Structure formats: structure tokens, C-alpha cells
Structure 1
Amino acid sequence: MSTSEAHRQWQQWCEQRTGTVAAPYGPLSLTGTHWLPDLPDGRIPAIPGQWSEAPEGDGVLLRARTEDDLVVDGKPFTGETVLAADPSPEAAKVASGERKLLVMHREGVWAVRVFDPGSARRRAFAGIDVFPYDERWVLPGRFCPYERDQRITVENADGRARGLALAGELVIGPAAPDGAPAGVPHGREFALRVAAEADGALWGVFADGTSGVSGYRFRFLRPGVPDADGRLTVDLNRALLPPCAFADHFICPLPPPGNRLPFAVEAGERNPLAH
């Protein structure tokens, strides 16, 4: 692929990212994550209904009165129902006006998230600041899986520690002898500990010399699915901001040990922009 075509595709990716983030129920619209153990009376501030863990522990029990004006599956709802975890805000079964009330389950704990298209963060959003495209940050990679997933505990953006399953190491580089990005020694590889999704796609969370300096405190990397030999191209121009960069109520994992790079990755997304 030519440099101009790669740059064009990257620009399209940037535009798609901005559209995804700014969508009515994108990350900017999250205004609260409410863990049920923190709600002894089952009441969520400014949200109607009563929310508690179902007696069997297999969902969230919602109790609503007519005056709560809640909608479930597109119809006005009163009474009781048990709600399973929702796959996405858009698919959330419960709504209160324009707000979507998403049921989620993490490590045995149920919670309700509130997505409001009229959130202050979404109204103030002016785009995503990115580093200029640099083809030197498009590097070869190979995935070295562990014999079995390693589950470790890492701090999350909300200050709580949670489990993170790691599938192996993604070895990146070396850069071409005449094209190593600044700070990356010629001929050197570096590695990130990464997770694998159900379809085999890799993802990792990392920090580097830009973190908290010229960019957000950490970023995500989603390089795709390796081939049968574990090889893939890693384009660090597509390093992306985690959801918690756009709303304070996400619980993104912080980089695990080994994923804090000793040099600056001046590629990819840097920070959200606001009016």
C-alpha cells in the first residue's frame, strides 16, 4: 500500500472514530455507573424505579410505578421484571425519556449505567486531538500466546482493582534501519502484554513517554487478528483513547506491568477536544 493511500485510510479511521465517540449513545453520553451494592435502597440518583439484584443473582430486578414513566422494550412499563446484561447502550431495554439505562455485569457485580445524549461532555465535544500520521509507526508484529491465559489484577480508572485476562505478548518491530521513530533504537523490538477477544482480535492497554505529558495518561491498541503464524501489522497511528478519556464513569483497566514503554509513541490519539 502506498503512503498516500495509507494516510487516506487513516484519515477515514479518524473520522469514523470521531463519529463513534460523538454518537448519541457513545462514550461521551455516559453520565453514571451505579453499582447495586452501593445502592442499599435500590434508588439511583435522578433515575426513576427501584433497582436491585434479582433473587437468583442472574440479573437486575427492576420495580417501576406508572409515575416513573419508564419504558422497557419500547413499551411503558409498570410492575417487576428481571433484566439481563445489555450488549450496548443502543440495545439497552430500559429508557427514561432520551436516556438509556444499560444493565451490566462485571466480576459477579451488577450495575446500571446511564447514557444521556444531552450530557455536558457531549455538548462540549469538539473532536479528538491526534498526532500527525507517521508511516514509521507502522511496524511488523507477532503474537506469542501463553500456554494458557494469565489472569492478573490491575487498577482500573475508577480506583478499584479488577481482573484482567492476558493471552500473550505482542512483539512489535524492529523498525526499518533507516526509518525508526524517534526514541526507538534501530533494530530493537518491544513487547506489550495483550488480551484476545472471542474472534481472536488482540487488544492491549499501554502507556509511554507521551502519557500525561502531551497525551492522555494511557491508551488502547487494537491491531486486529494475527495470521496462522501469529504475524500482523501493528499501526500505532491507530492507538486510541480509552472510553474513560471521554467520561469519568468508565472503568478502563490501567496498563499491566510491562506495558509502560520507556519512549514516546508520538502516534495515534492524544486527547479529547472541547469547546
Structure 2
Amino acid sequence: MSTTNTSEDTLRNWQQWHEQRVETVSAPYGPLSLTGTHWLADHPDGALPGLGGHWADDGDELVLTAAADDGLTLDGRPFSGTARLTADPGPVAAARLALGERRLVVLRREGLWAVRDFDPGAPARRAFAGIEAASYDPRFAVEGRFTPYGQDRTVRVSNADGVERGLGLGGELAFHLAGRDHTLQVSVEADGSLWAVFADATSGGSSYRFRFLRPAAPGAGGRVTVDFNRALLPPCAFADHFICPFPPPGNTLTADIAAGERHVSLR
């Protein structure tokens, strides 16, 4: 394949990726639809704002007691009585609990229970006009090398909601960009792909205060493409009720990463 065709394919693939991202975040149950994350620990009376029913922490389960007039459904059927719930593992649309068109996602973090309220009618969905992203720039797609740690590590980092939580890290991603060597501490996902939370010299200015990067699973010798053209806005850029982790120590790059998603555009 010629260099020209390769470049055209790369640009086309990036454009398709960007368009798919816009569709995903603006979908009825995408991140823009999150209107609340209600932690049970903040509501000892068991009443969560606007959700009806009584919610209680019972160790490894969340116990919901509701009456028919609370309007809740469980597994697609009107619900009354008592149900013992665990965290929802799948997509928001597949959540077991609903209140009309809203989906109520059961969440557990570090032993604490919460319920997330996703509403297709959220004002943020109506105000959304797109994702501001830089044009594709091949200078920001470089080869890197992943080196796993001898054993996984957990560091405590602040989250977007002001709470400090553990962030699991599985190794280090090294690469050369803008005339300098850089490293990022990264998590390793179940499928072997990588996840980095990073900031750079543009963060809080021409780009959001931090972003995510999700390189593919490393190949032979730990080789992996580090493509900042696919830097992602974190979910908390779309709704205030997400608890995204801030970058761990060492993941604030000195380079200007003028690539990837920058800001949410509003009408």
C-alpha cells in the first residue's frame, strides 16, 4: 500500500472514530444523560433523591424495598416488595432497575454503594453540540514500549468528586515525543489493553484538565502505538456526577499534547 493511501486510510479511520465517539456520548444512555450519583452513605435514612423506595446497605448486597406507587421496574416488570441487588456489570441500557425512561445503575466502589440516575431527557443532552477535537496530526502517534510491573500497584489519587480512591496500575508506558522521552503509569484492562489518565501542558487551558488514553494491548516485546490523536475526554467532562480519577504521580507530561479531544461543545 502506498504512503498516500495509508495516510488517507489513517485519516478516514480517525474521522470514523471521532464520529462514533460523538454518537456514543450523545446516545440516550450515554454519559451526558447522567443526572446524579447518589451514595447510600450520604443518605442514612435510605431515601435517595427522586428515586422512591427505601435503599439499604447490607454488606455484599444493596437492599431495595419499594411500593407499587414508587413507579420502579425491575427486569422490565413493575416492582413492589424487596429485592437484593448487586452492582450492574453491563451497559446502562441493560440496568435491572428503571423509573420510566430513566435507568438506575447500581454501583459499588471500595465497599460503598451508590445508585446512578441516567435520564435521556437530561439538559446536558439537549445542550450538547459535539466534541471539540484537534485535526489528526501524525506527529502525535508514536511507537512506545510497555513494561509491566512485577506485581500490580495501587496508588491513592483524588477523584473528580473530591474523594481520594485507589487507582490500580499494572506497568509503565515509555515513548519519545516532541524531542523528549516520556513515561506514563498505566492500568491494564481485562482484555490486555492499556488505560492511562494523564495531563499535559495544555490541560486546563486549550484542553480539559486531564484526559484518558486507551492504547491497544501491547504486541511482541511490549511494543504499542501511543496515539494521542485518540486522547479522550473523561466521563466527568460530560456530566459532573462521574467520579473520574485524576492523573497519578508522574502522569503530567511536560509536552503540549495539542491532539485528540479537547472540550465539550455546547449549543
TM-score, length-normalised on structure 1?
A: 0.93
Contact preservation (8 Å) 2:106, 2:115: yes
Give 1:261's aligned residue.
253
The one of 44, 47, 59 equivalent to 2:48 is 44
The equivalent residue for 2:127 is 124
Please state how far the C-alpha of 1:17 moved relative to its aligned partner.
0.3
**Corresponding residue to 1:73 among 67, 72, 75:** 75
Verify: 1:8 aligned to 2:12, yes or no.
yes
> For 1:96-134, what per-residue CA distance to the aligned partner results, in whole angstroms no more than 9, with x for missing partners?
011100001111111100000000111100000001110
Distance 2:84 2:92 in 1: 18
C-alpha separation between the residues in 1 aligned to 2:240 and 2:80?
32
Q: Quick one: which amino acid aligns to residue 48 of structure 1?
A: G
Give the aligned partner of residue 138 of structure 2: 135
CA distance in 1, matches of 2:126, 2:212: 24
- Structure 1 residue runs of 4+, over 6 Å off? none
Between the aligned residues of both structures, percent identity stands at 58
- Provide the C-alpha distance between the structure 1 equivalents of 2:128 and 2:61, rounded to a whole number of angstroms: 34
Q: Give the AA of the match of 1:135.
A: P
Shift of 1:231: 0.5
Match of residue 115, structure 1, among 81, 105, 118? 118
Corresponding residue for residue 204 of structure 1: 196
- CA distance in structure 2 between the partners assigned to 1:82 and 1:59 by the alignment: 6
Q: Which residue number corresponds to residue 270 of structure 1?
A: 262
Within 1, Cα distance between the matches of 2:79 and 2:34? 23
CA displacement at 1:227 relative to structure 2? 1.1
Q: 1:146 matched to which residue of 2?
A: 149
For residues 228 and 90 of structure 1, the distance between their equivalents in structure 2, rounded to whole angstroms, comes to 37
From 63, 68, 92, give the equivalent of 1:89. Answer: 92
Q: How does 1:17-32 map to 2 (within 5 A)?
A: 17-32=21-36
Aligned-residue offset at 1:229? 1.4
Cα distance in 2, alignment partners of residues 165 and 78 from structure 1: 39
Q: Is there any run of 5+ residues in structure 1 with no aligned partner, and where? A: 176-183
Alignment pair present for 1:102 and 2:105 = yes
User: Aligned with 1:151: secondary structure?
Assistant: strand
Listed as ranges, the matches of 1:150-165 within 5 Å are 150-165=153-168
2:38–2:49 CA contact under 8 A, matched in 1 = no
Shift of 1:228: 3.1
- Segments of 5+ residues of structure 2 without an aligned counterpart are none
SS in 2 for 1:90: helix
Aligned counterpart, 2:227: 235
Deviations 1:67-116 (A, max 9, x none): 11110000001000011111231111000011100001111111100000
- Equivalent residue letter for 1:162: R
AA partner of residue 9 (structure 2): E
**1:168 maps to amino acid:** G
CA distance in 2, matches of 1:224, 1:104: 27
The CA distance in 2 between the partners of 1:267 and 1:3, in whole Å, is: 17
Query: d(CA) in 1 for partners of 2:158 and 2:170?
Result: 18
Take 2:62 and 2:165, find their aligned partners in 1: how far apart are those partners?
Answer: 21
Write the letter of the residue equivalent to 1:95. Answer: A
CA contact (8 A) 2:40 2:48 kept: no
Aligned position for 2:172:
169
